[in-house]
Structure 1
Amino acid sequence: MGRSRRVHGHRPLADGRRPRRGRRLAGRHSHALPTRGRRVSSGNAIDLPNALADWVTSETGEPLLAAAPHRAGASRSAWRIETGSENAPRSLFLLQDRNRGGGSARDAAVLRALGPTEVPVPEVVAIDADHGALLLTRLAGESSFPDVEDPAHREPIARHLMSLTTRLHALDPKSLSIPHLALPATAEDCARDTLAQTRGALAGLGENADPFFAFALDWLENHVPDRVERFSLVHSDMGPGNFLHEQDRITGIVDWEVAHFGDPMEDLAAIAIRDMATPVGDLAQRFAEYEAAGGQRIDLRRIHFYRALVLVRNSVMIGLGLAHPTPTMDVREMTLYQTLLMRAATLVLCDNLGIERPASPDETDPGVPEQSLEGRATEHALRLLRLARDRRSLMGALYSRLPQPLEPS
């Protein structure tokens, strides 16, 4: 295994090898809003279901000039929209829930509450809860943080991320009117609500659920943190991929569908998770910046717990989406991403259980002849096979060291 990087005792989520910058990992919340005013498609084509096109026109009171599908995650579909006139186009962003998940209504409620605050978010133009549609303003900025190679630009953006995270956590929950959210009654409730929701999603997978999830949830339910200094609104999937930036500043934080009142350490855990694919710099420094800006005192034990919880939750939710794929879902990409998350979750559980991380298998032999795969599919398929075998080996090592061994599926 490669050399591990430690952060005040904090181990990286995967082995010491880091993905090269610029490689984007799709996620449940991987969409981001493109730059204002960009033409969304050549010839101003409208690639949007008629019912949604009619709804956009009705809500804006403007002609629909262009609409193009935008890459999204497992829970929602997305489109870049332009309305108005050719001389004065209005750039918008449209989201629609897949399988009536309710994420867009939750997203809209949080965005409206945050609108008057110092946390930059897009403005809600219209919401149709019955059809799970959410129309937003399109903020200036790019979601291209993984492609920013120059540290002189990456570092200010990463520092601004920590500053905005501190501002979010400093908001008084009682000042935020978010109808679907309630303050936890106890410190334990910060995690128990998410655990209950994840259990429910896992039940929806039925016999197709990987046994690893039940094992992981059992451990998490028995190790819920019992203290928190202050309840805060947490994004719960904070980090690269869920913010826009322009020059050296973040212009907006997006995708609030899983936000809730809870433990601020959960957002720091989410940043640490996304750091494994898109590094935000030295995590010890980032956490110190968070504290220096007025954030809560760093508690690595709680961060370790929430790393595991967020990884398991996101893996289960992606699995639920894969069980009911829509025509616009990139099933191959989502399967690859779920495998990456499950592998990371296994490593994190090794850390939390005090088990030495097993060495990763040699990736040079994927177990299938490369000649059987062609073109772009070769890279994706081989990587998926290697990761799947890697995860099986890691889970086998983890199970074999427990008092009552379980057999991986």
Structure 2
Amino acid sequence: MSALQHDLPEGTIEWIESVAAGRVESLRRHVARREAWIVDVACDDGSRLEGFLRIQREDGGVDPRRLERETRITQALERCGIPVATVHGWNPELRTTLFARDPGRADIDRLEDPARQRAIMEDFMRVVARMHQLDLDALALDDILGPRPTTPEETALASVDEICSQWSHFLGGYRDPLTTYADAWLRRFVPKEVARVSLVQGDTGPVNFMFQGDRVSAIVDWELGHWGDPMEDLGNILVREFYNPCGGLRGLFELYAREAGIPYSSFAARYYAVHQNFRGMVPIHYVCLNAHPRESIASYLCYRYVGDRATCEMLAQAMQIEVERPEMPEGEGERDILAESAIHAQDADVVPAIEDPFARSRAEAVKTLVACMDRKRRYGKALDAIECEELGALLGRRPDSAAEGLVLLDAAIRAGRFEDESLVRYLTRHAWRDEWLYAPAVALYPERRWSEID
């Protein structure tokens, strides 16, 4: 057998083999935003363990217990009969968990049969309804999830406050009008009533569950799980269906309410869609500005610019503000033969010659980054002029640059000197222009639109 190729911490392979009682036969990096590995083990008893290895490296960053929390929640839910991946083992020293690898699929958005998509989503809503009715004492997770909220404000804002605290080193000096406004908006418009506190996933919905046939076989990715308002998970589903469209959401939230016996609020669902986007976009903005070479920054750029536009549109929906997509600069800008040559070489010569899926994805990312840099060179000045014109109308004077204007607008938002309607309309136009500028990265999730809800 050839030597395993990996950069896992020393002792990881030996730990896997001790947990599985066998020998690791194959190991490959999984293509995903969070580091994971596909592991196959030939067990001593003649069976085969198909594993999915999660790892949280070094000191764990701003959330050092993220993987431990995911592991504990998964174990608790399996005990309660909720479909999740079996945990084979957790190693606190290596910060590594070996999960069972579900043989099903996650790509419900790629199914061509609308009836099957609907059947799977209906089953998923029933699973979520069951999960939200679980006895919290029986889960025995208070030691890792912390105290349960007792007021609507605590329920809605605990995870917002946590994100702001975890990323205070970044947010303290970051001047982004949308981030500042979304934070303030979430605090101004907390839903007034919470039917009950439940275990919520914090990022649930399409592609974060596996399915076999027409049934959900495992809900995955529990690192953001916490005590919260059940409506938060409906907002999560709204967000994830935006990125992974699978037939729309009409009727599904009403089905959930019937199954769970929990009142449904369309405003709360939209509120929590903004809530999830804010919680997710803070670290994504950070990575886009401070990426480690290990990170796939091309995918982060996509999430940032599609996510910013989505947040603006959902803010508008929640407040019943009409917004529209602005006109973009015409023409192709000045060509750059160097950029064109680099893109062609990656596309025609490099990527086709790479067999390893992870290495291929990295090569594709290089092409995307070169294309984004080229578009910034082509259209940057034209977009800057548009931003200065529109910011001047909001601020009362034209800034010398878009960068200066955005800092001034951020200061105005912090001081409360804004009117929601005109601000949301500007932020939406600004987000559309950014998404258009970074079109090569955004191609990962092109032309995404919010689904209508009950």
Asked whether the equivalents of residues 146 and 278 of structure 1 are also in contact (C-alpha less than 8 Å), the reply is yes
Q: Tell me, yes or no, if structure 1 residue 97 matches structure 2 residue 56.
A: yes
1:184 is matched with: 149
1:308 is matched with: 274
Measure how far apart 1:234 and its partner are. Answer: 0.7
Measure how far apart 1:45 and its partner are. Answer: 4.4
Mapped to 2, the partners of 1:43 and 1:163 lie a distance apart of 46
Mapped to 1, the partners of 2:320 and 2:184 lie a distance apart of 17
Asked whether the equivalents of residues 163 and 293 of structure 1 are also in contact (C-alpha less than 8 Å), the reply is yes
Q: Tell me, yes or no, if structure 1 residue 248 matches structure 2 residue 214.
A: yes
Measure how far apart 1:358 and its partner are. Answer: 2.8
Measure how far apart 1:231 and its partner are. Answer: 1.0
Asked whether the equivalents of residues 27 and 39 of structure 2 are also in contact (C-alpha less than 8 Å), the reply is yes
From the superposition, tell whether residues 106 and 139 of structure 1 become closer, same or farther in structure 2 (CA, over 3 Å): same
1:70 is matched with: 30
Q: Deviations over 1:346-371 (max 9, x none)?
A: 11122334432132434875767486
From the superposition, tell whether residues 366 and 235 of structure 1 become closer, same or farther in structure 2 (CA, over 3 Å): farther
2:182 is matched with: 216
- The residue matched to 2:243 in structure 1 has which SS? coil
From the superposition, tell whether residues 370 and 148 of structure 1 become closer, same or farther in structure 2 (CA, over 3 Å): farther
Paired letter, 1:175 = A
Asked whether the equivalents of residues 322 and 334 of structure 1 are also in contact (C-alpha less than 8 Å), the reply is yes
Superposition CA RMSD, Å: 3.2
- The residue matched to 1:188 in structure 2 has which SS? helix
Measure how far apart 1:324 and its partner are. Answer: 5.1
Q: Deviations over 1:243-297 (max 9, x none)?
A: 1111211110001111111111111111111111222333221112212323412
Mapped to 1, the partners of 2:266 and 2:115 lie a distance apart of 28
Asked whether the equivalents of residues 104 and 129 of structure 1 are also in contact (C-alpha less than 8 Å), the reply is no
- The residue matched to 1:315 in structure 2 has which SS? helix
1:55 is matched with: 15
2:321 is matched with: 355
Q: Deviations over 1:136-190 (max 9, x none)?
A: 1112211221211111321111111111111111112122111212321112211
From the superposition, tell whether residues 82 and 70 of structure 1 become closer, same or farther in structure 2 (CA, over 3 Å): same
1:168 is matched with: 131
* Aligned-pair identity (%): 25
**How do residues 27-46 of structure 1 correspond to structure 2 at under 5 angstroms?**
45-46=4-5
Asked whether the equivalents of residues 38 and 51 of structure 2 are also in contact (C-alpha less than 8 Å), the reply is yes
The answer for unaligned runs of 5 or more in structure 2 is 348-363, 396-417, 431-454
Aligned residue among 154, 159, 162 for 1:197: 162
Q: Tell me, yes or no, if structure 1 residue 154 matches structure 2 residue 170.
A: no
From the superposition, tell whether residues 70 and 295 of structure 1 become closer, same or farther in structure 2 (CA, over 3 Å): farther
2:192 is matched with: 226
1:238 is matched with: 204
Measure how far apart 1:241 and its partner are. Answer: 1.7
Measure how far apart 1:124 and its partner are. Answer: 1.5
Asked whether the equivalents of residues 204 and 320 of structure 1 are also in contact (C-alpha less than 8 Å), the reply is no
* Structure 1 or 2: more helix by fraction: 2
- The residue matched to 2:79 in structure 1 has which SS? coil
Mapped to 2, the partners of 1:306 and 1:365 lie a distance apart of 39
* TM-score normalised over the length of structure 1: 0.78
Mapped to 2, the partners of 1:324 and 1:131 lie a distance apart of 25
Asked whether the equivalents of residues 198 and 230 of structure 2 are also in contact (C-alpha less than 8 Å), the reply is yes
* TM-score normalised over the length of structure 2: 0.71
Q: Tell me, yes or no, if structure 1 residue 117 matches structure 2 residue 80.
A: yes
Q: Deviations over 1:315-351 (max 9, x none)?
A: 1122344455444421111121121111111111223
Mapped to 2, the partners of 1:151 and 1:305 lie a distance apart of 28
Point out the more displaced range, 372-381 or 116-125.
372-381
Measure how far apart 1:314 and its partner are. Answer: 0.5
Measure how far apart 1:61 and its partner are. Answer: 3.2
Aligned residue pairs total 362
1:30 is matched with: none
Asked whether the equivalents of residues 21 and 43 of structure 2 are also in contact (C-alpha less than 8 Å), the reply is no
Asked whether the equivalents of residues 46 and 66 of structure 1 are also in contact (C-alpha less than 8 Å), the reply is no
Higher relative contact order (CA 8 A, sep 6+): 1
From the superposition, tell whether residues 103 and 367 of structure 1 become closer, same or farther in structure 2 (CA, over 3 Å): farther
